[in-house]
Amino acid sequence: MSFFGRNRAPRGTRRSPTPGSGPGPGYGRGAPSSQPPSPGASSAVFGNTEGKPLYLCSPFVSSALVKGNFKTIVVLPKYVDIMEWVAVNIYDFFTNLNEFYGVLAECCTQHSCPTMSAGPNLNYLWQQTSGKFVPMTAPQYIDTVMSSIQIMLDDETIFPTNNNHEFQRTFPGVSRHIYRQLLRIFAHIYHAHFTHILHLRAEPHFNSLFAHFLAFGKEFDLLEVREIMGEPGQPVGAGLLWEKWRDLGTLEK
């Protein structure tokens, strides 16, 4: 779906479409979930002898708050401007992911995560404004990303909440940039901290948030499959969830 050529509906203060105010699932903690692994297995990254990550193993892979396909909650509602819809959803994904990471932050340190890992052979590098790529620890990388996104979200010229301000023509590009960076944080959490998610019994919430994020990204052309799956020889671990959930019918084929 294209970002361009739509008229905008009047709008007021930006509101999250998910927590209790719309058709979305909401991702707060506290609901019951699948059993976490036994204490003896708790530090294992891999769930079986085949080396398959736990998040791809049953029952965790299909653990979700929302049953069925996410398509229905991502499509553009009638009379809502597409830019506004993308903006409120990005705001919501950022807020929810930030809350999850806030809980995990004490487990994600420069010692536990010296690189921004997202798969056995994949470490993301940070691109400086000069264009140079530099390694960062995962907490440094994530803090840098989240701070920069927060600044953009607070910038009325990029994410206008006032009817006197229009979205700029650069908004689709900005949205794709933010989406790509949020994907990397999801990918790091799945790769490095899924056992922590299990200990919190938060995997149904986190899976639902990620599936919603992927479905929305595909619907509005915010993510390329290459970014979800990774490059040859450097697969994104969580990219396999994309394939698995498409097989299970959680996401569209």
Residues that bind Zn ion (CB under 5 A): 108, 113, 138, 192
By C-beta, is 192 or 238 nearer to Zn ion? 192
Q: Is 57 annotated as a binding residue?
A: no
Q: Is 188 annotated as a binding residue?
A: yes
Q: Which residue has the tokens 């903006």?
A: 87
Q: How far apart are CA 55 and CA 87, in angstroms?
A: 29
Residue from 118, 72, 16 nearest 251 by CA: 72
By C-beta, is 124 or 213 nearer to Zn ion? 124
Minimum CB distance to Zn ion, residue 168 (Å): 34
Q: How far apart are CA 147 and CA 138, in angstroms?
A: 14
The alpha carbon of 202 is separated from its chain's Cα centroid by a whole number of angstroms, namely: 15
By C-beta, is 1 or 125 nearer to Zn ion? 125
Minimum CB distance to Zn ion, residue 138 (Å): 4
Minimum CB distance to Zn ion, residue 109 (Å): 8
By C-beta, is 74 or 118 nearer to Zn ion? 118
Q: How far apart are CA 209 and CA 66, in angstroms?
A: 10
Instruction: Look up residue 80 and give its amino acid.
Output: V
By C-beta, is 69 or 137 nearer to Zn ion? 137
Q: Is 196 annotated as a binding residue?
A: no
Q: What is the CA radius of gyration of the chain?
A: 18
Minimum CB distance to Zn ion, residue 54 (Å): 16
What Cα–Cα distance (Å) separates residue 226 from each residue in 82, 135, 163, 234? Answer: 24, 21, 36, 11
Minimum CB distance to Zn ion, residue 135 (Å): 14
Q: Is 107 annotated as a binding residue?
A: no
Cα dihedral 219, 225, 229, 231, rounded to 10, equals -160
Q: What residues are designated binding site for Zn(2+)?
A: 108, 113, 188, 193
